[in-house]
A and B are shown apart, each in its own frame.
Chain A
Amino acid sequence: MKQIRNFSIIAHIDHGKSTLADRLIQYAHLVDDRQFRDQILDNMDIERERGITIKSQTICLPYTSRNGVDFELNLIDTPGHVDFSYEVSRALASCEGVLLLVDASQGVEAQTLANLYAAMEHNLVIIPVINKIDLPSADIERVKHEIEHDLGLDPEEAVLCSAKEGLGIEDILEAIVARIPAPSGSAEKPLSALIFDARYDSFRGTIVTCRIFDGTVAPADTIRLMSTGAAYKVEEVGIFRLVREPRKELTAGMVGYLISGIKTVSDTRIGDTVTLEANPVEKPLPGFKEVKPVVFSSIYPVASDDYQSLAEALEKYKLNDAALTFQKDSSAALGQGFRCGFLGLLHLEIVQERLEREFDQSIVMTMPSVQYRFHLTDGSVVTVDNPQYYPDPVTVDKSEEPYIRASILIPERYVGTVMKLCMERRGVNSHLSYPTPGRVEITFDMPLAEVVFDFYDRLKSITQGYGSFDYEITDYRESQLVKLDILVNGEKVDALSVITHRDRARERAVRICDRLEDEIPRHQFKIAIQGAIGGKIIARSTVSPFRKDVTAKCYGGDITRKRKLLEKQKKGKKRMKQVGSVMIPQSAFMAALRTSDEE
């Protein structure tokens, strides 16, 4: 039997992970060079467009080492954004080792550290790889120094490469087979396999990606999912090349897929252990690190009739994104929908885009919110992540909001602007350290709510992309909170309500009103937009009416031409939500949501 190595690549965003994965795949000659597409693992449009990996993908690469041993290398690609640390942790639990990729000119970044810690938590062998050595700005010695001092790894173990130019690829493969241990486990023991990914295929049902720790599974076996106890007959097992490749069986150490007629989406749980009904393992594998959503927003179908279709889409979506949580919600303005929990704002945007592109849903999303805590006068404590459930202000004794410890790594020259940004975002308790000359790590205690909006984008823009950011939620702190309502022509748009700090309310209200003024198209009548706390109006703007749009001629019998224009208009209307007599485009909700400091 072939030797197996299970590994993953971890890196700070933009350090070249997807490019390296591409080269490894190319080296294995799984595809014709001419058919090769960049970022071959990132097969979602959105991943290619944004140049990021959202979903982990797995691929099994054949490799014959320099000393002639045949290997099967399972590469588990991982996402690289702070929002997706959950997916990273699932992938890591299925590996024995990782390639820790560091950019030869950028050096060690905040996320490099975070990733390293994650890998260490899973006891993985770490192979440092210095990438982009072909760049003129590459400073290998400095990066080696950082690897030693910041990461505590042996810099002499670092493999040098340029994924872009295809340099050092074989050295990396050799390092993988030499340094990463073969998976332990026994094919004879009871089956114990970890589900670390699943996706839905309209023909085959749920396709589960798993790592076999012990035992063997083959078609016709009856498997049991340990968390639910549900049993299924296995239809097919196999490994991932670029497409699924069926095998007779999967045995201990392997990474592959199971198709077993799991039709209902909710039966699959990422992190669950698969065993055999006939010969079950005693204990499930240690659970994955559970990540709780920190940002909440409601999703509504633009057309209320599409609620059922949205419900189905979310169910199917969840198969591929275990981090998303959702439950029923309803709004006077937007009808029936779902309150969803996300790992962060990028995660939220990705869910939105994928629901629209892949599931053909027209949706409106409400203002993202964090989870607030209210101590009421009767002594009880309520947690609220939805402005709709904001308690009656007279019953509130004390309100609290979640705080984070933000850590930001930047070149020294940006310290002033970044400090200013953090202070504007109510950051306190700052701390500066100098991990390496010329680079500063700033830490701040900040309300999570301030980061949820566009903090990361702002940071990237004021540091010209050099700033890296990571955070952990620390505690709840007392805060003066109010509920801000938005009224359009006198009708409260509940979906636009937001809980915010008292001092930020006016500023936010003005911005939301202005954004809505820009985004709500002119109607046949005047539209008043107001921001209010309780009965008190704190901001106001107006959309003046348009006064003429009629075309003179109706083109004789050529009604078709006229109607086609209307049908185009009507398509646009699908992306609008009716509030009273006013049509509010989805883009207005999104624009109001993106309350940035810039304007």
Chain B
Amino acid sequence: MRNRPKGCGLYVHVPFCRTRCIYCDFYSTTGIALVGAWIEALRQEMLLYEADFGRFDSLYIGGGTPTVLGDGMVARLMEALHARFRFAPDCEVTIEANPDDVDQARLEAMKGLGINRVSFGVQSFDDRDLAFLGRRHTAGGARKALEAAIGAGFSNFGIDLMYGLPAQTCERWLTTLEGALFFRPTHLSCYQLTVEGRTPLSHMIGRNEASLPGEEEGRAFFLLTSRFLEDRGFVHYEVSNFAASRRFFCRHNGKYWSHVPYLGLGPAAHSFDGLQRWWNHRSLKRYVEALARGRKPVAGSELLSEEQLELERLSLGLRTRRGIRLPDLPETALPLVHELRKARLVRVRGNRLSLSRRGYLVADSLPVLLSRPSSPRTRALSMP
């Protein structure tokens, strides 16, 4: 990403949903009554970190479903954040929105609070898909919400979509894509439906109640999506992400992908300070309890070794159009690079290597192959 952010990223996890979708494994609870306790704890957590991070130039309010919070609650949250932290004047401020929760008035109110980017969790413009996924809204509801965003004056909004759903054909998926493009979004996230462990979807798959496309179909969906959107001027800048132009690359997510420090507040949120990563309790109860006792609500942490950093750099970098630095690769990786170029899976521009459209498809196996061989451990030799 050319306009790589200098500042840090701030994430706030809103762990509430009115209903749970069958595929989602992000942490959330339907116990909306706990919102008060959550925001109180969140304020405490802000106090613990106020001095640790510099200026933020991206704020991302995600979840969960942030829009289950009422206007007043969002205002309290924004006030609290501004009271504790410093933000750049051009800070990207995103909120994730469920189409069902917002109308033009609400969106205008959010805009008034400094929110300048909305990410709509639409998933599909086909009601059959939405019913399968357990979404609350309908395609009609999604259209209304998007119109409201335009009406409220949002010039920068994104739409999240999903493909590879049971019974979804390429034609049906194209209809959804076209449905989204109609609103001229600046950003599209197109995720292939992935089965996560211990979700209702995984149980359905286990019981053979649903089946998902195989490798070849998944590949066809992926290539179709990429071609279709790039033909219409979008930049396929990350495996699952498209932007209308470079200007609209998601600045906040870019930080996750390039090891820029970020602070995550709220239950289950992850943080990274450049060397160390830590994550909060994946339980609102434990999160609140820890903070009530004045403790950091941290469930675990890790200090990244050089080898781990390399692996992450490769895996995150290869998922993006920006790619990785060629000179960083070990010599042992060069025959593979050569073969990958021959197969047109990678391209090399200057000293950077990035994956082609077909290369994105095999991005998961490449980081390990391109990484430096593990350094030999020092071993204690002993005999029985």
Contacts and interface: CB of A to CB of B under 8 A. Distances in A.
Interface of A: 43-44, 199-202, 303-306, 309, 312-313, 316, 319-320, 358-360, 489, 524-525, 545-554, 556-560, 562-563, 566-567, 569-570, 572-574, 578, 580-581, 583
A547 B345 contact: no
Closest 8 CB pairs of A and B: A581-B339, A557-B270, A552-B191, A202-B382, A525-B343, A548-B219, A552-B192, A581-B335
A304 B332 CA distance: 11
Given A550-B364, A566-B368, 5 more contacts: A200-B383, A524-B345, A524-B365, A547-B362, A573-B369
Contacts of A560: 270, 277, 279, 302
A552 B240 contact: yes
A43 B270 contact: no
B5 interface: no
Nearest to B264: A557
B355 to A, nearest CB: 9
B253 to A, nearest CB: 8
A563 B312 contact: yes
Contacts of B366: 524
Contacts of A551: 194, 364
26 contacts: A44-B384, A200-B381, A200-B382, A202-B381, A303-B374, A306-B376, A316-B383, A489-B339, A548-B219, A548-B222, A549-B362, A549-B365, A550-B239, A550-B362, A551-B364, A553-B240, A554-B257, A556-B11, A557-B272, A558-B279, A563-B308, A563-B311, A563-B315, A580-B335, A581-B335, A583-B369
A551 B345 CA distance: 17
B163 to A, nearest CB: 9
Q: Chain B interface: which size bin?
A: 35 or more
Nearest to B262: A557
Contacts, number: 157
Contact of B271 (A199, A306, A557): A557
A201 B384 CA distance: 8
B367 A566 contact: yes
B371 interface: yes
Contacts of A549: 361-365
Contacts of A547: 215-216, 219, 358, 361-362
B14 to A, nearest CB: 13
Nearest to A527: B339
A199 B381 CA distance: 12
A559 B272 contact: yes
A556 B62 contact: yes
Contacts of B379: 309, 359-360
A573 B368 contact: yes
B361 A550 contact: yes
B365 A569 contact: yes
A332 B311 CA distance: 27
A121 B218 CA distance: 71
B219 A358 contact: no
A43 B383 CA distance: 11
Interface in B314-368: 315-316, 319, 332, 335-336, 338-340, 342-343, 345, 358-368
A556 to B, nearest CB: 7
A551 B316 CA distance: 12
Given A44-B384, A554-B257, A566-B368, A309 B270 contact: no
A569 B369 CA distance: 9
B54 interface: no
Contacts of A303: 373-374, 376
B374 to A, nearest CB: 6
A460 B277 CA distance: 56
Contact of A554 (B262, B316, B340, B368): B316
A583 to B, nearest CB: 7
Interface in B66-104: none
Contacts of A552: 191-194, 239-240
A270 B40 CA distance: 75
A257 to B, nearest CB: 14
A566 B311 contact: yes
A524 B365 CA distance: 8
A580 B384 CA distance: 39
Interface centre among A358, A557, A563 (most CB of B within 10 A): A557
B269 interface: yes
Given A305-B373, A316-B381, A524-B340, A553 B194 contact: yes
B33 interface: no
With a 10 A CB-CB cut-off, give which of A304, A358, A524, A547 has the most chain B CB atoms. A524
A573 B257 CA distance: 24
A409 B193 CA distance: 62
Given A547-B361, A548-B215, A550-B360, A358 B384 contact: yes
A57 B216 CA distance: 58
Contacts of A558: 270, 279
Contact of B340 (A525, A563, A572): A525
A548 B361 contact: yes
A359 B368 contact: no
Contacts of A566: 311, 315, 367-368
A599 B338 CA distance: 36
A589 B266 CA distance: 50
A549 B11 CA distance: 29
